[in-house]
């Protein structure tokens, strides 16, 4: 057993405590879980010994018997993306509140790695998994995962055809709001920028963009879609592609904030003033968005709350609720700052 002073040696167990306190291990176990069955005097004696020995509860051993686990797998596709970092923080915080402990895996969009970590997590006995799937994950892969038949919620990237509960923002409605705002500002030629058609998130955001266009009686022109990696660099390239076009757009609605930041930056370096000469709006409302030059108008999905919602849904699943009931589509909110040209439009009105 561990020496109370040095902490050296075999770690102290419940049996050591029992012996030292002159009770049975059952009683110590009872004390540990704060049962009202044990006499106050006994409890105090045991607690004193626990304190003196610096005893550490072995949750793993306990879980073996009860066949439960307080671990939850948190599989993130790209943690260096500030959006996913924020999501991860939301999930972690909520799990902590619920008494769960997150095991982290950053798949870095690697399907093979994703398979590995899923298997590893299962072996480590997680109670469930929250996953933002790597690009390319499809329903079939998901259904044949080593981790099938374990509680799992998918977040942020909908997998068509998968029965797993999905938690994410209402991309279509959010995109529509953003584009309607641009239209309200007087824009008539609005491009969509970033992402690829294979991403369900892009599909949904494009659908919202088209909805807004069509509702305003504007033409839906596929030529105004500029695909790119969903990165700053992608935004830059997409914007350059748009500018190289015979009739460049007067505003761009971007796949996400990162793309929008790349786009505003590319505009600036060419001497075109984002927010004044060209309207730009993003999606996600990451922290950096308000510090961009100019501050980004964007669609907020309340990422942290979404993370909390993932944890709630997983808990529901673990407790036995149906997968369908645990899906959740979050409301979105348009955050108007300067990149869309709102202040410019306002100023125009002011002097008109």
Return residues touching a second copy (CB under 8 A): 6-8, 56-61, 63-64, 69-71, 74, 79-80, 82, 85-86, 88-89, 92-93, 96, 101-106, 108, 117, 120-125, 146, 148-149, 232, 261-262, 265, 268, 287-288, 291, 293
> Across the beta sheet with 333-335, what order do the strands follow?
225-226, 190-193, 251-254, 279-284, 297-300, 333-335
Instruction: Let me know: does 282 contact 177? Beta carbons within 8 Å.
Output: no
101: β partners: 71
d(Cα 259, Cα 104) in Å, to the nearest integer?
A: 26
CB burial of residue 322 (10 Å; 0-12, 13-18, 19+): exposed
Residue 30 touches which member of DNA, a second copy, none, C-beta under 5-8 Å by kind = DNA
Q: Select 14 or 225, whichever has its Cβ closest to DNA.
A: 14
For the CB of residue 133, give the shortest distance to a second copy in the complex, in Å.
Answer: 18
From 57-65, 78-86, 169-177, 278-286, give the range in contact with DNA by CB under 7 A: 57-65
Span 67-86, contacts to DNA by CB under 7 A = 67
Q: Is 29 in the site for DNA (CB under 7 A)?
A: yes
Residue 198 touches which member of DNA, a second copy, none, C-beta under 5-8 Å by kind = none
280: β partners: 252
Q: Is 48 in the site for DNA (CB under 7 A)?
A: no
Q: Which of 19, 25, 122, 333 binds DNA (CB under 7 A)?
A: 25
Question: Strands 297-300, 333-335: parallel, antiparallel or unpaired by DSSP?
Answer: antiparallel
75: β partners: 105, 131
Q: Is 268 in the site for DNA (CB under 7 A)?
A: no
Q: Select 125 or 248, whichever has its Cβ closest to a second copy.
A: 125
CB burial of residue 137 (10 Å; 0-12, 13-18, 19+): buried
Q: Select 47 or 288, whichever has its Cβ closest to DNA.
A: 47
Q: Select 123 or 350, whichever has its Cβ closest to DNA.
A: 123
For the CB of residue 336, give the shortest distance to DNA in the complex, in Å.
Answer: 53
Residue 107 touches which member of DNA, a second copy, none, C-beta under 5-8 Å by kind = none
Q: Which of 8, 34, 39, 320 binds DNA (CB under 7 A)?
A: 39
d(Cα 244, Cα 22) in Å, to the nearest integer?
A: 84
Q: Is 66 in the site for DNA (CB under 7 A)?
A: yes
At a CB cut-off of 8 Å and minimum separation 6, what does 166 contact?
A: 153, 154, 155, 158, 159, 327, 328
Q: Is 24 in the site for DNA (CB under 7 A)?
A: yes
Per-residue CA distances from 111 to 120, 134, 197, 320 (Å): 14, 6, 19, 29
User: ω before 69 within 30° of 0 (cis)?
Assistant: no
Q: Is 11 in the site for DNA (CB under 7 A)?
A: yes
Q: Select 12 or 303, whichever has its Cβ closest to DNA.
A: 12
Kindly list the residues in this chain that would bind DNA in the complex (CB under 7 A): 10-11, 13-15, 22-27, 29-30, 32-33, 36-39, 41-42, 55-58, 61-62, 64-67
């Amino acid at each position: 057993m561990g020496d109370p002073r040095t902490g050296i040696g075999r770690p102290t167990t419940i049996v050591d405590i029992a012996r030292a306190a002159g009770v049975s291990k059952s009683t110590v176990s009872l004390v540990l879980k704060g049962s009202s069955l044990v006499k106050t005097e006994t409890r105090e004696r045991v607690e004193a010994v626990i304190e003196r020995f610096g005893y550490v509860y072995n949750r793993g051993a306990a879980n073996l018997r009860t066949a439960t686990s307080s671990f939850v797998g948190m599989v993130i596709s790209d943690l260096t993306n500030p959006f996913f970092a924020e999501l991860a923080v939301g999930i972690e915080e909520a799990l902590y509140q619920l008494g769960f402990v997150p095991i982290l895996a950053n798949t870095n969009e690697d399907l093979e790695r994703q398979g590995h970590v899923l298997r590893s997590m299962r072996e480590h006995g997680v109670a469930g998994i929250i996953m933002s799937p790597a690009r390319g994950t499809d329903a079939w892969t998901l259904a044949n995962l080593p981790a099938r038949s374990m509680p799992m919620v998918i977040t942020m990237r909908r997998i068509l055809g998968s029965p797993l509960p999905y938690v994410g923002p209402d991309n279509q409605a959010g995109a529509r709001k953003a584009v309607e705002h641009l239209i309200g500002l007087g824009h008539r030629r609005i491009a969509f920028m970033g992402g690829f058609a294979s991403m369900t998130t892009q599909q949904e955001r494009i659908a919202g963009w088209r909805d807004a266009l069509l509702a305003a009686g504007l033409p839906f022109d596929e030529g105004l879609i500029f695909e790119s990696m969903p990165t700053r660099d992608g935004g830059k390239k997409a914007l350059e592609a748009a500018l190289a076009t015979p009739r460049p757009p007067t505003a761009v609605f971007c796949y996400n904030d990162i793309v929008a930041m790349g786009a505003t930056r590319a505009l600036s370096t060419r001497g075109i003033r984002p927010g004044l000469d060209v309207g730009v709006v993003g999606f996600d409302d990451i922290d950096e968005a308000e510090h961009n030059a100019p501050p980004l108008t964007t669609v907020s999905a309340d990422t942290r709350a979404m993370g909390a919602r993932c944890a709630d849904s997983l808990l529901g699943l673990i407790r036995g609720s149906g997968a369908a009931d645990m899906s959740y589509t979050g409301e979105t909110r348009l955050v108007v700052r300067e990149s869309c040209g709102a202040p410019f439009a306002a100023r125009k009105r002011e002097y008109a």
